[in-house]
Amino acid sequence: MTTAGGRTISVHGDEDFDAHVRIVDVDPNSVAFVNEIGSFQTRKQVSVHNIMAVGERAFVTYYQDGFRVLDLSDPTQPTEIAHYRTWPGSSGLAPGYGDNFFEGAIGVEYDAVSGLIYVADTHRGLFILRLDVP
């Protein structure tokens, strides 16, 4: 859970075809208590894997669609502000690319002290990134 746009939210990711990142209002004072208020999707053919929400940012690994950073300042309209392509596709760069639905960016960890983002990829290993967006 995190706080974004003055709301307590949870960021949930589907894992299957047609996967979405879903923003859920978890206000214990609301009638519904848990209510989806926003969503984000890259392509229907690609699944979300791991998500880390910190403040008004969500760090998302999206298998073949790589790593994404979402701005949650308006949690009803999550907006992509950065991405990094970890997966080169089935271009013949390495044996086995493009053979599995569950390949590409699979793990993310953000270190708020250093500002570094660690992204794990099934074929290419570990990427260490820094977000240069204000």
Across 101-121, average pLDDT = 93
Confidence of residue 32 (pLDDT cuts 50, 70, 90): low
Q: Which residues contact 38 (CB under 8 A, 6 or more apart)?
A: 22, 23, 74, 75, 76, 77, 78
Q: Is the pLDDT of residue 71 over 70?
A: yes
Instruction: Note the pLDDT of residue 81.
Output: 96
Residue 107 contacts residue 49 (beta carbons within 8 Å): yes
Instruction: Note the pLDDT of residue 97.
Output: 63
Q: Which residues contact 80 (CB under 8 A, 6 or more apart)?
A: 40, 68, 69, 70, 71
Nearest to 67 by CA among 16, 110, 106: 106
Among 31-40, 47-56, 73-82, 113-122, the minimum mean pLDDT is found in 31-40
The tokens 């989806």 sit on which residue? 36
Q: Is the pLDDT of residue 92 over 70?
A: no
The tokens 């950073």 sit on which residue? 69
24 bridge partner residues: 10, 36
Across 13-29, average pLDDT = 87
Domains along the chain?
Answer: 2-91+98-130 (2.130.10.10)
Cα atoms in the 13 Å half-sphere on the side-chain side of 129: 25
Residue 47 contacts residue 106 (beta carbons within 8 Å): no
Confidence of residue 110 (pLDDT cuts 50, 70, 90): very high
Three-state DSSP class for residue 49: coil
Confidence of residue 91 (pLDDT cuts 50, 70, 90): low
Average pLDDT, the chain: 88
Q: Tell which wins on pLDDT, 75 or 35.
A: 75
Instruction: Note the pLDDT of residue 33.
Output: 63
